[in-house]
Amino acid sequence: MKPKKLKEDEVLQKAENTYENRKKHYDIFLKKQQSTINFISTLRLIIFLAGLGFSIYFIFHKQYYLSSVIFLASVIIFIILVLKHGKIILNKNLTAALYDVNKTSIKRIKGQWKEFLDNGEDFKNPEHSYSEDLDIFGNNSLFQWLNTASTAMGREKLKELLINPDLNSDNTIERQQAVKELVSKISFRQRLNGEGNLIPKNKQNVQELLSWSAQKNDLVDKIYFKLALIIMPILTCSSIIYYLIKPSIGYALPLLFIAFNIIILKLGEKIRNDVLETAFYYKNSIKSYERMIRLIEKHKYKAQLLKNLHKKLVCSEGVKASEAISKLVNINNKISDRKNLFSIILNVLFLWDYNLIVGLEKWKRKYGGDLVNWLEVVGEFETLVSLSGIYYDNPDWCMPTFSKAMEIKAKSLAHPLLPDSRVSNNVVIGSRANILLITGSNMSGKSTFLRTIGVNLILAYAGAPVCAGEFSCSLMNIYTCMRIGDNLEKSISSFYAEILRIKMIVSAVKEGKPIFFLLDEIFKGTNSVDRHLGAETLINRLSEENSLGLVSTHDLELGSLEKKNEKVKNYHFLEHYKDNEIFFDYKLREGISTTRNAIYLMKMAGIQFDE
């Protein structure tokens, strides 16, 4: 075991060094960018004050032409610096996000991933066939360790992949190939992750955004609306120009048309705000999506799945997704300016808000239906990036192969979430026996071993590498019965809840599905006679069907099943004692357990028994 542990440490150290070097690079870059931002801020202030000062100075000296030139030049330079300043701030935010991506990657390698805030708690479902028992979501979960997706769609796609695996070997192999290709694209992976992290977490309601993009505004089709947008700006501007040419006519007419425009704006205030403010609310999110899509578009791919996803980033007219979303970003930029003085004047003269609504409506009708597909592509890429990240960190893990025969064969199989206490085992299910009966004393590793196989199967079906030297399996529906407790809300005891879960497994078997099951201490809520009889009946029933599984038990009498049923084979975990201490090696051995440690553990806890 020591040489293998040394190899794992060396592999992890290599990845950690890469992340450390990248983190240092971004840290240095951040400081340079902050220095540039400070310099431009100071220069901007100097230009403004100098331009204003010199303009006033030359006005006092009656050099109006020179004063105007200096003032205009200073305004132009000031605007250029403002734009430059904003661009560098945006780049600095991305650099900070990339710094955090590497910091997070280092934490994952060091086993500090349990501190990650996104643990997928919102995806927990006690009714699911295995997610609760295998710790797929929640604290210390597979999702918490694995996930690097930043967008709501990315999280959703990863969740679906973990709880509703695609049991099609061709599709899974395609995902494997995509994951392998993305492993070497560390800059691409981190950039995608960093861009997504710039999306405000409180603006991740992607369904609201998609609902908005699908809504049609019939107002823009009304004849009176179209005519008003053409006629009123012409009448208003014409009356103002006419007044400037012939002031003698008075300003009543221009004011009348301006008043009409204000009334029109007031009457449609709710409509304007509902449409424009929703778009503006997602302004930064849309910008991030645009940059993520542009990043995906500019890369070339070899894996077929990545090629297929890349092809989806176009609309029916052949316009690139990034170009289409860029048009929406430009409209949003105009919306963001609607509160300044210049936009207010434009609004009064040209009914500018309504023109923005028309622009948004045209965009939605042209591209709105494609938005969901584009965001799904982003989510798919984020999911694949999450999977490829663990392969980059653990290149000594293997990519599974898939067998048509019902079997699981693994060498050096270990739990992916236990790097410090990881112990590997070889296991074969299917060729000699369909059901492995696992016995062993308390704390010997039975439940962890069951979860080890279950979690690695989930990773395999997702298209990810597994924590093993070799791994081959068939594609099966996974069911578990491990952590069953009372449900007080439904007035269900733990024993009855266990019965319901067993019923779910048996029903799935009756449907002819290929089943893999994990049963941990089944029927523990009843007396020993019923427990033994129930477990024996269930195991015999499951062994006759298209299923594989493991059953852990303290009921050593169940070990006799191996002699009665050739599809059942006994394995056990062992402990040993030294200097009044108990030790476990967590190595799987053939045969039934011959040791017990309950009394010893109780004594260790300070509970004394009369001799």
Contact 329, 286 (CB under 8 A): yes
> Does an H or E element contain 215, and which?
none
Closest CA to 404 of 461, 344, 473, 357: 473
Please state the rounded mean pLDDT for residues 489-509.
76
pLDDT, position 492: 55
pLDDT at 286 > cutoff 60: yes
Cα 118 versus chain centre, distance: 9
Instruction: Show which of 110, 133, 164 is a domain's final residue.
Output: 110
What tokens were used for 347? 């609004």
Predicted confidence (pLDDT) per residue in 36-83, tens digit: 999 999 999 999 899 889 888 888 888 888 888 888 898 899 889 988
Q: Are residues 273 and 224 in the same domain?
A: yes
The pairing of beta strand 515-520 with beta strand 547-553: parallel
Average pLDDT, the chain: 86
Q: What is the CATH number of the domain that holds 507?
A: 3.40.50.300
What tokens were used for 330? 């430009």
What tokens were used for 245? 């040419």
pLDDT at 375 > cutoff 60: yes
pLDDT, position 382: 97
d(CA 215, CA 10): 55
Please state the rounded mean pLDDT for residues 445-456.
94
> Does an H or E element contain 378, and which?
helix 369-393
Q: Reduce the DSSP state of residue 591 to 3 states and report it.
A: coil
Q: Are residues 42 and 132 in the same domain?
A: no
pLDDT, position 526: 63
What percentage of the chain carries pLDDT values higher than 70? 90
Q: Is 175 among the domain residues?
A: no
d(CA 74, CA 47): 6
Q: Is 436 among the domain residues?
A: yes
Please state the rounded mean pLDDT for residues 460-483.
95
pLDDT at 278 > cutoff 50: yes
Q: Is 260 among the domain residues?
A: yes
Q: Are residues 355 and 438 in the same domain?
A: no
Predicted confidence (pLDDT) per residue in 308-335, tens digit: 999 999 987 788 999 999 999 888 888 8
Q: Reduce the DSSP state of residue 197 to 3 states and report it.
A: helix
Predicted confidence (pLDDT) per residue in 18-38, tens digit: 999 999 999 999 999 999 999
pLDDT at 388 > cutoff 90: yes
pLDDT at 182 > cutoff 80: yes
> How would residue 596 be classed by pLDDT, with cut points 50, 70 and 90?
low
pLDDT, position 558: 84
Q: What are phi and psi of 444, to 5 degrees?
A: -80, -15
Q: Are residues 388 and 441 in the same domain?
A: no
Q: Is 190 among the domain residues?
A: no
Contact 408, 436 (CB under 8 A): no
Locus of tokens 């008043």: 259
Q: Is 422 among the domain residues?
A: yes
Length of the chain counted residue by residue: 611
The pairing of beta strand 575-578 with beta strand 581-584: antiparallel
Q: Are residues 129 and 86 in the same domain?
A: no
Q: What is the pTM of this model?
A: 0.86
pLDDT at 491 > cutoff 50: no
d(CA 104, CA 113): 8
Q: Are residues 366 and 497 in the same domain?
A: no
Looking at the structure of the chain, the number of domains it has is 4
pLDDT, position 470: 96
Predicted confidence (pLDDT) per residue in 197-228, tens digit: 998 776 666 777 788 787 777 777 788 877 88
pLDDT, position 129: 93
What percentage of the chain carries pLDDT values higher than 90? 45
Q: Is 160 among the domain residues?
A: no
Q: Is 180 among the domain residues?
A: no
Q: Are residues 37 and 130 in the same domain?
A: no
Q: Are residues 348 and 436 in the same domain?
A: no
Q: Are residues 524 and 416 in the same domain?
A: yes
One-letter amino acid of 506: V
Predicted confidence (pLDDT) per residue in 339-365, tens digit: 666 677 777 787 888 888 888 888 888
pLDDT, position 390: 95
Closest CA to 16 of 102, 101, 123: 102
pLDDT, position 1: 37
What tokens were used for 183? 């492993």
d(CA 172, CA 178): 10
pLDDT at 133 > cutoff 90: yes
Instruction: Show which of 377, 393, 409 is a domain's final residue.
Output: 393
Q: Are residues 432 and 371 in the same domain?
A: no
Domain that holds residue 67: 1-110
pLDDT at 92 > cutoff 70: yes
What tokens were used for 85? 């300043």
Q: Are residues 85 and 3 in the same domain?
A: yes
> How would residue 599 be classed by pLDDT, with cut points 50, 70 and 90?
low
Q: Are residues 100 and 132 in the same domain?
A: no
Predicted confidence (pLDDT) per residue in 240-275, tens digit: 887 778 877 777 888 888 888 888 878 877 777 777
Q: Is 47 among the domain residues?
A: yes
Instruction: Show which of 60, 87, 110 is a domain's final residue.
Output: 110
The pairing of beta strand 568-572 with beta strand 589-590: antiparallel
pLDDT, position 494: 72
